[in-house]
Amino acid sequence: MLYYRPVPRNRSAGSCWSIAQLGWALAFAAGVGAATFFVVNYQLSLPLRAAAAMLAIAPGVGYIVAMVRDVRRLDELQQRIYLEAVSVACAGTFLFTLLYPTLRRAGLAPEMSPTPVALVIVALASVSYLVAKRRFE
Amino acid sequence: MKNRLRVLRAERAWSQAELAARLGVSRQTVNAVETSKYDPSLPLAFDIARLFGRRIEEIFDPSEDGTTGAS
């Protein structure tokens, strides 16, 4: 009988998405909407404007905590796939944000708010996740 | 890395999902290991060996490395 010390592994091989993560994402979206509503429609003092911003920041932190917890629940292969997807998303978004001013000055990109950057991250992460997952099927 | 995981699983009439549940990993991981597309970590390899009552060398064969995505 081989002797070895079993490595505690309480991973349930779960999904990278959970109800908690979705709930925090919805709370974040609601918080952004509420903060925008109050800031746009009311003349608020600085402390109240900061409090309004916290309506979105607090659930945003909750989302990050839930996401990290879900990632820790993944098994080793799922974490590897997730890492590849996040790496591509981060690198691609990093290059996009650096390149955007040049494209803007060259007239090759329209004026954009920061919101599309979030969409770029999601799109890159989704595509690279599917590609990485396919490699191991 | 070539392995006998599929054979050992079939001997016990376990599905990939059943084996995955016993190992605490996803069915995708079990399938990737069986098809030599993923080499398990050392703790997982030991868990597999312990589950089947075999030595790691009896299950995994590094001499014919058909891995395409482990490194």
What is the nearest CA distance from A10 to chain B, expressed in angstroms? 8
pLDDT band at A109 (very low <50, low <70, confident <90, very high): confident
Beta-carbon contacts of B2 under 8 Å, excluding residues fewer than 6 positions away, are: B36, B60, B61, B63, B64, B65, B66
Closest residue to A135, CB basis, from B40, B41, B69: B69
pLDDT at residue A74 greater than cutoff 60 = yes
Q: How many CA atoms lie within 13 Å of A104's alpha carbon, on the beta-carbon side?
A: 10
Beta-carbon contacts of B57 under 8 Å, excluding residues fewer than 6 positions away, are: none
pLDDT band at A3 (very low <50, low <70, confident <90, very high): very low
CB of A96 within 8 A of CB of A72?
no
Question: Are A137 and B41 an interchain contact pair (Cβ–Cβ within 8 Å)?
Answer: no
Cα–Cα nearest to B54, from B7, B1, B21, B14: B7
Cα–Cα nearest to B22, from A9, A39, A99, A51: A9
Question: Are B28 and A133 an interchain contact pair (Cβ–Cβ within 8 Å)?
Answer: yes
State the pTM of this model.
0.76
Question: Are A12 and B24 an interchain contact pair (Cβ–Cβ within 8 Å)?
Answer: yes
Question: Are A77 and B69 an interchain contact pair (Cβ–Cβ within 8 Å)?
Answer: no
Q: Which pLDDT value is given to residue A66?
A: 93
Q: Which pLDDT value is given to residue A5?
A: 39
Cα separation, B34 vs B48, whole angstroms = 12
pLDDT band at B7 (very low <50, low <70, confident <90, very high): very high
User: Once rounded to an integer, what is the mean pLDDT over residues B3-12?
Assistant: 95
pLDDT at residue A8 greater than cutoff 60 = no
User: Once rounded to an integer, what is the mean pLDDT over residues A71-97?
Assistant: 92
User: Can you list the positions of beta strands (E) in B1-71?
Assistant: 2-3, 60-61
Burial of A23 from C-beta contacts in 10 A (0-12 / 13-18 / 19+): middle
Residues of A contacting chain B (CB within 8 angstroms): 2, 4, 6-7, 9-13, 74-78, 133, 135-137
pLDDT band at B4 (very low <50, low <70, confident <90, very high): very high
Lowest mean pLDDT among A91-95, A122-126, B46-50, B65-69: B65-69
3-state secondary structure of A137: coil
Q: Which pLDDT value is given to residue B68?
A: 45
What is the nearest CA distance from A127 to chain B, expressed in angstroms? 18
Mean pLDDT for all residues in chain A: 85
Cα–Cα nearest to A72, from A117, A20, A124: A20
